[in-house]
Amino acid sequence: MRILPRARRLACALPLALTVAVDAHAAPPPHNPHGYAVKAGTYRCELGRRLEVRTVSGDQRTAVLSWNQRDYTLKAVGARSGAVRFEDPSSGLVWLLISSKSMLLDSKQGQRLADECRI
């Protein structure tokens, strides 16, 4: 049996559409695999820098961070390394946390803004 080109395209697209529909309703990937609780408060960093975490949502999926007298809402995303990672794509801020310290990065400029931050 010969499959027409349009039917072939539809047949190829169907499994992809089903996969996307199933994935859209699946539970989000773990953003904090080690269960480390992110805490609000003042994080003091190297070189006298500091960042203020104003609030962290109860589900640990968002955090409001104050840096250079401006507030940013960062969302938790999965990190391959196992670190807790929060990002704000519009500003380029990335906040990485492990159990003992954290660092703030500017992904647009490709530089560290604050390192060795501890609460």
Mean pLDDT of the chain, nearest integer? 78
Q: What percent of the chain has pLDDT over 70?
A: 70
- Sheet strands (E) in 2-119: 41-44, 50-56, 62-67, 70-77, 84-88, 93-97, 102-106, 111-117
Domain ranges for the chain = 41-117
CA atoms of 99 and 83, how far apart (whole Å): 8
pLDDT at 51 over 50: yes
pTM exceeds 0.95: no
Per-residue pLDDT tens for 3-48?
Answer: 445 544 444 443 333 333 333 343 344 455 556 678 999 999 999 9
